[in-house]
Amino acid sequence: MGQPSFIFWFSIAAGCLGVLMLQYTTGGEWGLMIRRPLGAGARTMMWMVLFFIPIAIGMKYLYPWMNLDWARRDAVVSQKLAYLNWKRFGIFAIVYFGAWILWAWRIRVLSLQFYKDRSPYTDLARRRWAAAGLPMIVLTLTFASIDWMMSLEPKWNSTMYGITFTVGCGLSAFAFVTFFLARLATTDAMKGILKPTHLRDLGNLMLAFVMFYAYTAFSEFLLIWYANVREEIPHYVIRDVGVWGAVAAAIIVFHFFLPFFMLLMRPIKDRAETITIVTIVILIMRYVAIYWLIAPSWYDHFHYSIWSLTTLVGIGGVWIWTFIDQLKGQTIIPIHETWVEEAIREGAIRVNA
């Protein structure tokens, strides 16, 4: 039962890569303070390959369409077998990971080169890679979510599934790096550098992603409820009753309403202690939402085992160790980047204003 745990930690790594490329493409002071944590998170994607191997080995136990006798007899699934087959699944997974790792490390190489030469051409090349990576990350995360998660219920489909998962990855990344910076804000090394306005900017971006995720998730539910198609409604029927229904209600309250109202309040966003609480709530509910999406595909009734918790902690421990290792030997704030002095000074000006 390690798939939800893998997806949870993978979503942070993938979200870090997506937000990093968005920051390099758009520029702006909002992302200068989180470039290094985002880059470190993106480069953990290599370890995600290792954690994906058990899923690839256990495909026949996870995905019903691997049972060809059943799949060929089913009127709906039989029409999808050109896509739902292990060869295509494996090839696409290799392409996904290859693209993610390539972009994460290519941006890293260009950043190191820019540190040495400070050339505008190097910066332009980095921006071009980042801009090209945005459609790549959206497309690959969309197809990966379909392959790894939605195909657990091969009779069901949703056109909103991919974008909801992609936005969720971005939200996970923002919550994680904001938590990371908020914890550093109280240390002696970062005092006077990380200002309340920096945390406020990150809080505003988290608020935007919280609303965007709620919009896509509710739109998916509304479209399926309104259409009332026989092949689609079982997905929500099983998730809206019993304990699974209580989990769904908790997701609505703690994944949207609570973070939404907390992030509307400026005093909460400006203080490292309070915004940390918001990020912890979001990260916990991201795992709960992922588990709610995946587990009912296997269990009609609520089920959570010690192995689920073990894989969550185990994968998380290795991921965090890798993340910290990627940060070694460099400053948290990219002092060589353009506008970084202005960003720090602007934070001080806005605080004193």
Alpha-carbon dihedral sign for residues 277, 282, 288, 291? negative
Q: pTM for the whole thing?
A: 0.93
C-alpha to C-alpha distance for 208 and 42, rounded to whole angstroms? 21
> What does the pLDDT look like over 15-33, one tens digit per residue?
999 999 999 998 877 777 8
Tell me if residue 192 falls in helix, strand or coil. coil
What integer pLDDT is reported at residue 297 of this predicted model? 92
Q: What is the DSSP string of 271-305?
A: -HHHHHHHHHHHHHHHHHHHHHHHGGGT-SS----
**Exposed/middle/buried for 114, CB within 10 Å: 0-12, 13-18, 19+?**
buried
What integer pLDDT is reported at residue 334 of this predicted model? 65
Inter-residue contact 284 to 253 (CB < 8 Å): no
C-alpha to C-alpha distance for 210 and 344, rounded to whole angstroms? 27
> What does the pLDDT look like over 323-336, one tens digit per residue?
999 988 777 776 55
C-alpha to C-alpha distance for 161 and 158, rounded to whole angstroms? 5
C-alpha to C-alpha distance for 331 and 101, rounded to whole angstroms? 23
What integer pLDDT is reported at residue 317 of this predicted model? 96
Q: Which residues of the chain have pLDDT under 50?
A: 347-353
